Structure 1
Amino acid sequence: MKKKLIIGVLVLVGAFLAYQAYIFTTASEDNINPIYLIPDDAVFIIDTERPIDTWDEISNSNIWKHLQKNDYFSEVTESLNTLDQTFKERKELIEFIGERDILISVHVYKPKSYGLFYTVDIQKLSKLRFLQNSIAKLAGEGFEVTKRIYKDHEITELYNKKERETLYLSFVKNQLIASYTHVLIEKSIDQYQNPIIGRDVNYIEINKETPEDGFFKMFVQYKYLNKYLACFSNKMNSELLKTVEKSWLYSGFNIGLKESTTIQAEGFTNFDMTSESYLRALQKSGKGKRTIAKVAPKNTALYLSFAFDDFDTFYENFESIKEENEETFKAYNEQVKEVENMLDINLKDDVFSWIGSEIALLHINNVISKNKQDLAVVLTTKNIDKAREKLNFILAKIKEKTPLKFKQINYKGYDINFLDLKGFFKMLAGNLFAKMEKPYFTIIDDYVIFSNSPNTLKEIINTQLIGFTLASNQNYLDFNDQFDEKSSVFAYINTPYIYDELLTLTDSKTRNSIRKNKDYIVSFSQLGLQLISQGDFFENYLVVGYEDPVNVQKQRIDDKKLRAELLHKIAKDVDTVLTEETVFNLPEIYPNDLSASEFIKKYENGQVHIEVELKNGLKHGDFTEYYRNGNVKISGKFKKGAQVGTWKAYDKENEDLLFKKRF
């Protein structure tokens, strides 16, 4: 009897093994591509074919070791460390299963909430029923396991009693899918027979072009990027983001690490060829050399460059887009004609004719105004003499033909002009620079620089005079050397200087996290993204540089000290102690609006420090400076920026007259 039982068991085991051998060797394949299971609203998709080796390299990098100390990344760190420990403890199982293709995607499933979706290609192992039944047992005692059926697919729910969150798992053919967001699992099951991203020709072509020799590939789907950024901010509706969302399709990046401290990524970007944006014109206009770093202050937070073979080519391409889409550009064309007729000018001849091969937007961390919206647009020129002649011609026409105000001041040898003509700059550069409603401008070397604020121009002039520019910054030069010197689009972010702007853009929850983790954010001190026109695509290259946060903070302090020392050398010495020789050497003032009739500067406590009348941007009329206690310190008059008449200086406490001088 026992013999028969043993034989029976052996027969059953043999039959089971034969069945498994049949499955693994002769059964027809019924596999599905993992991308077919990614829900269509993915913002980011990460694809790795060797997750274990990749994790081993990343976990030993200086960047990851730094992040492990950070509370902001504590949950991710803890989870991945647990995963790492699991890999080591289950070595035999991992070796049996082998390296598997894993896709991770990010989705916004409701306003201001995003979730992650995972799919793992377990290939023929999916046919082993015991593997599916054992998933729940691996969870341990801290989990409550339930199951349910959704459209003929079993979903396993692992509820973590301690964390009070549920992991949802399911098998779809050869793929194991998982997420902490149940709607993503259900969306995946809904669409797997009619995949969207996986059959999107735009995604397919970018996936084909993206190299595969790095740690992993990452894809960005731009039409959902705004929704993702809105999870962290209520101010993500800029014209630039709207343009990107409507025009750009996908970017693919092959991501790797260099020397354990630099993240590098290369790949391609495609865009909607039917879009009416400047991007189409830019993509057809080649690439140009970046030189605006020569006038960009060292404290530039963002340097966004658009370059081309030459501006004439770009403008011709833009004109062809306008002709194809007359209705879309109707308002633009009407505004151009109105301004040209009113002033008797021709924008093509009087403006576009002298623009060179690069236009850049600068966001500056301005020491003068401490305004977090200090923006400047810089145009390179083909011939600066022609540019100056044409700009003076336009200014003269404005003064001659319109009642609009004409302003000009001289600041340290540079003329700052006020172009009081609403909408002019929008005609020059479209919605991309729409905030430049009534720009001021100045000329430095071969560059024409526009800004809404004269103080921004003064900051650029100051840093130019003392050589405090990006082009003089060795850290920037070393970082910039990693990119081609010519590009179509180039974005450079100086994280320590853009940090304050991040606070203004984010919601309160994100803002608190950013403040708490400032050192860890600014440690990624330089970020650069370059796009180069390449056929129907843009070739993209991304670099993120990591530095020890202690060194970043020290560099910031050293830069601030150096800037002050250099400015001191070119500034007039002003003695804070009242003496007959120095009392009437007044400090510079920085009015934000040169068309204003007065300027008032206050102390930190709100008490008035200086008040002076203005005319045409110059000090003109009564001037009074006060002590912090409210008593008058100095009084006198200006005429066209010069001190005139009798000036008086008073004692701080009893306001007795100390000095008097006739100008």
Structure 2
Amino acid sequence: MRKIIILVSVLLLGVALMSYLYFSKLGIENDAKDLALQSATNNAALLFSFQNDKGFYEIIEGQNLLQQAIGKEKTDLLKQLKESFVNNKTINSLILDQEIYLSLLPDSNKTLNFLITIQVKPNQTALNFQNQLKPFLTPIAQEKNIYSAKVNDSLNIFVGVQHQVLTLSTSLKLIKDAGIRLKENPFTAYIKESRLQNKNVLAQLYINYNQAPLLLKNIISENINGELAVFNAQNSFATLNYNFSKEKILFNGNTEIKAADNYLKLFENIPVQNIEIQNVLPDQTANYTIYAYDNYQSWQKKLMSWQAQKKLTDKTTSLIKHIRSEYRTDLNAIFSVYLKNQFVTFQLNTGEKLTAISLSNGEKVKQLLFDVSEDYSDEIKHFKSSDILFSYLGEPMKNFVRPYYTIIDNYLIAANNASTIQSFLSRYRNNKLLIQEPEYLDAMNQLSSTSNIGYYINLKRSNNIFRSQMRPQYYKHLQADSGLKTFDTFYYQMSADQSKFLTNMLLNKYLKPQVPDSSSNR
């Protein structure tokens, strides 16, 4: 009996040892496969991924919209790199059918630059890989594993060669920053998990919002504040699949919010809503953000939890008590009862900012707010106390501290200047609305009519806003015929799907219908 126990123990020990060795080796092989991804994701906010095969290039060359989006200069650079490296038989034999990562990164002198990262085929040893590349590379003095390569008479690039990973860029800084790190970063881990769920797609765009501030600081000429302040602490990621089209640039996939105290978490795990509040927006609207939930009373519980996490509960409670004592008005009996299911913050082409809030009974709310408001005119009122809207709707209302407001057709419209409200009322009553614009309707037809969150930018009406915020080289690209000038709409749409948001990202250009030439019918 003792011999049998010893024999079984030895066999079990042997199996455990073999399993350990097998899975350890498998883990090392998987780590090796991910070295390129780890290198590509270092400090990257945007990562475009595609497979190095002939079919991909043929499809992309059939559409010039992506080329317009990144600009002529960067497009020409990528074409030259493809012709010199990808089309080279020796180099292409090392990277055929391999994943290519194109990272957009902040570079020196307030510029942005590309880093291309490729893992060579697994049947190539590191030594053989490097030996085959030697004829094309010139070592750079005092730089380990970094070389220069001549693309043409006017262009030299830097090349990093390390652990069967190839990195290319016109920036030496980016090559050095992309050195192999064996420790996985959160962005790498997120992409690896996403890739298991997304197969057989033409290309993918990964977004790391944690790195967005570094990117934005090189694009905008002022501090990241106002509407952009959300990017200062946006712990979230997105995986978006590219949908080929000759008419528009469309990606769809999902956005995942990691931070528990992120305001957008309040819209997770709730039904998508039919969006209607855009119907009230004037035709001057340059951008907006729409928020929608199913029922205010249940959503308010989430808001109160968020306020507790942000240590805002005492401030809100104190405000409600003060107004009840000072003005004999119970705010809970107004907003908790009559707020409907969606609201929007928006900015006009003049730069003025407003908000519109959907109400179930506008006339009743108008009466109940009488004591907590003072008259500016018969239609326009002014809150006597600060942060009323912030207390009941949270972060998007922080810029409307003590606004002027009006209530019309079951919408509360607020702004920081009475003249802005007057201008709004004039356009609204004269039916000068965003929903009547052909460009807007065309873009909305490409998207779902139901969602929870929507970010909209009218690129043409935002022209003056961009001019005041962006660095000259990026504003120039926005205005170039070969750049973004011919596009009119950007939209980022999020629809709750359990712990993630199904996401559509659209860059659209409206093509006016062709009017038949009447002379041809004669």
TM value normalised by structure 1: 0.66
Residues 372, 384 of structure 2: 8 Å contact kept: no
Residues 459, 488 of structure 2: 8 Å contact kept: yes
Structure 1 partner of 2:274: 289
- The one-letter code matched in structure 1 to 2:44 is A
Question: How has the CA–CA distance of structure 1 residues 165 and 97 changed in structure 2, closer, same or farther, with 3 Å as cutoff?
Answer: closer
- Residue 62 of structure 1: how far off its partner (Å): 4.6
- Residue 96 of structure 1: how far off its partner (Å): 7.8
Q: 1:192-591 maps to which residues of 2 (within 5 A)?
A: 193-197=182-186, 200=189, 202-209=190-197, 211-258=198-245, 260-275=246-261, 277-323=262-308, 325=309, 327=311, 329-365=313-349, 372-395=350-373, 406-410=374-378, 415-511=379-475, 514=478, 517=480, 520-547=483-510
Deviations 1:559-603 (A, max 9, x none): xxxxxxxxxxxxxxxxxxxxxxxxxxxxxxxxxxxxxxxxxxxxx
- Residue 311 of structure 1: how far off its partner (Å): 1.7
Deviations 1:216-256 (A, max 9, x none): 11111111101211102133422543334424311111112
Residues 345, 396 of structure 2: 8 Å contact kept: no
Question: How has the CA–CA distance of structure 1 residues 477 and 509 changed in structure 2, closer, same or farther, with 3 Å as cutoff?
Answer: closer
Q: Secondary structure at the match of 1:492?
A: strand
- Residue 116 of structure 1: how far off its partner (Å): 2.8
Question: How has the CA–CA distance of structure 1 residues 62 and 41 changed in structure 2, closer, same or farther, with 3 Å as cutoff?
Answer: closer
Question: How has the CA–CA distance of structure 1 residues 329 and 519 changed in structure 2, closer, same or farther, with 3 Å as cutoff?
Answer: farther
- Residue 74 of structure 1: how far off its partner (Å): 3.0
Residues 51, 101 of structure 1: 8 Å contact kept: no
Match of 1:157 among 148, 153, 157: 148
CA distance, structure 2, for counterparts of residue 460 and residue 122 of structure 1: 59
Structure 2 partner of 1:597: none
Structure 1 partner of 2:65: 63
Structure 1 partner of 2:520: none
CA distance, structure 2, for counterparts of residue 102 and residue 38 of structure 1: 9
Structure 2 partner of 1:74: 72
Question: How has the CA–CA distance of structure 1 residues 514 and 477 changed in structure 2, closer, same or farther, with 3 Å as cutoff?
Answer: closer
Larger Rg: 1
Residues 454, 491 of structure 2: 8 Å contact kept: yes
- The one-letter code matched in structure 2 to 1:231 is N
Residues 206, 251 of structure 1: 8 Å contact kept: no
CA distance, structure 1, for counterparts of residue 110 and residue 313 of structure 2: 34
- Residue 61 of structure 1: how far off its partner (Å): 1.5
Structure 2 partner of 1:619: none
- Residue 468 of structure 1: how far off its partner (Å): 1.9
- Residue 32 of structure 1: how far off its partner (Å): 2.6
Which has the larger displacement, 50-59 or 373-382?
Answer: 50-59
Structure 2 partner of 1:180: 170
- Residue 409 of structure 1: how far off its partner (Å): 2.1
Residues 41, 187 of structure 2: 8 Å contact kept: no
Residues 40, 197 of structure 1: 8 Å contact kept: no
Q: Secondary structure at the match of 1:135?
A: helix
- Residue 283 of structure 1: how far off its partner (Å): 1.8
RMSD after superposition: 3.3
- Residue 92 of structure 1: how far off its partner (Å): 8.5
- The one-letter code matched in structure 2 to 1:108 is P
Structure 1 partner of 2:3: none
- The one-letter code matched in structure 1 to 2:169 is S
- Residue 310 of structure 1: how far off its partner (Å): 1.8
- Residue 320 of structure 1: how far off its partner (Å): 2.9
TM value normalised by structure 2: 0.82
CA distance, structure 2, for counterparts of residue 545 and residue 164 of structure 1: 33
Structure 2: segments with no counterpart, 5+ residues: 1-27, 515-522
- Residue 522 of structure 1: how far off its partner (Å): 3.2
CA distance, structure 1, for counterparts of residue 324 and residue 191 of structure 2: 44
- Residue 446 of structure 1: how far off its partner (Å): 2.0
Residues 107, 114 of structure 1: 8 Å contact kept: yes
Structure 2 partner of 1:171: 162
CA distance, structure 1, for counterparts of residue 160 and residue 355 of structure 2: 51
Residues 63, 546 of structure 1: 8 Å contact kept: no
Structure 2 partner of 1:25: none
Deviations 1:173-232 (A, max 9, x none): 3x22233333443444351x22224663x44444444x3444311111111101211102
Question: How has the CA–CA distance of structure 1 residues 335 and 183 changed in structure 2, closer, same or farther, with 3 Å as cutoff?
Answer: farther
Residues 160, 167 of structure 2: 8 Å contact kept: yes
Aligned length: 485
Question: How has the CA–CA distance of structure 1 residues 55 and 508 changed in structure 2, closer, same or farther, with 3 Å as cutoff?
Answer: same
Question: How has the CA–CA distance of structure 1 residues 119 and 547 changed in structure 2, closer, same or farther, with 3 Å as cutoff?
Answer: same
Residues 293, 469 of structure 1: 8 Å contact kept: no
Deviations 1:482-516 (A, max 9, x none): 2222211011211111111111111345445545x
Which has the larger displacement, 37-46 or 121-130?
Answer: 121-130
CA distance, structure 1, for counterparts of residue 81 and residue 482 of structure 2: 27
Residues 226, 241 of structure 1: 8 Å contact kept: no
Deviations 1:437-476 (A, max 9, x none): 3312122212111111233223322222232212223432
Question: How has the CA–CA distance of structure 1 residues 492 and 461 changed in structure 2, closer, same or farther, with 3 Å as cutoff?
Answer: same
Question: How has the CA–CA distance of structure 1 residues 472 and 73 changed in structure 2, closer, same or farther, with 3 Å as cutoff?
Answer: closer
Match of 1:53 among 52, 55, 58: 55
CA distance, structure 1, for counterparts of residue 100 and residue 482 of structure 2: 32
Q: Secondary structure at the match of 1:477?
A: helix
Deviations 1:244-299 (A, max 9, x none): 442431111111222x0111111111113422x43222224433221122211122
Q: Secondary structure at the match of 2:224?
A: coil
- Residue 535 of structure 1: how far off its partner (Å): 0.8
Q: Secondary structure at the match of 2:260?
A: coil
Which has the larger displacement, 460-469 or 84-93?
Answer: 84-93
CA distance, structure 2, for counterparts of residue 473 and residue 39 of structure 1: 40
Which has the larger displacement, 160-169 or 47-56?
Answer: 160-169
- The one-letter code matched in structure 2 to 1:361 is T
Residues 104, 118 of structure 1: 8 Å contact kept: yes
CA distance, structure 2, for counterparts of residue 392 and residue 80 of structure 1: 62
- Residue 160 of structure 1: how far off its partner (Å): 7.4
Residues 449, 457 of structure 1: 8 Å contact kept: yes
Question: How has the CA–CA distance of structure 1 residues 104 and 129 changed in structure 2, closer, same or farther, with 3 Å as cutoff?
Answer: same
Q: Secondary structure at the match of 2:236?
A: strand
CA distance, structure 2, for counterparts of residue 511 and residue 298 of structure 1: 23
Q: Secondary structure at the match of 1:45?
A: strand
Question: How has the CA–CA distance of structure 1 residues 513 and 460 changed in structure 2, closer, same or farther, with 3 Å as cutoff?
Answer: same
Q: 1:636-651 maps to which residues of 2 (within 5 A)?
A: none
Deviations 1:6-32 (A, max 9, x none): xxxxxxxxxxxxxxxxxxxxxx96843
Deviations 1:390-446 (A, max 9, x none): 233432xxxxxxxxxx32325xxxx12233433333334334232223312122212
Aligned-pair identity in percent equals 15
Structure 2 partner of 1:118: 116
Question: How has the CA–CA distance of structure 1 residues 184 and 117 changed in structure 2, closer, same or farther, with 3 Å as cutoff?
Answer: same
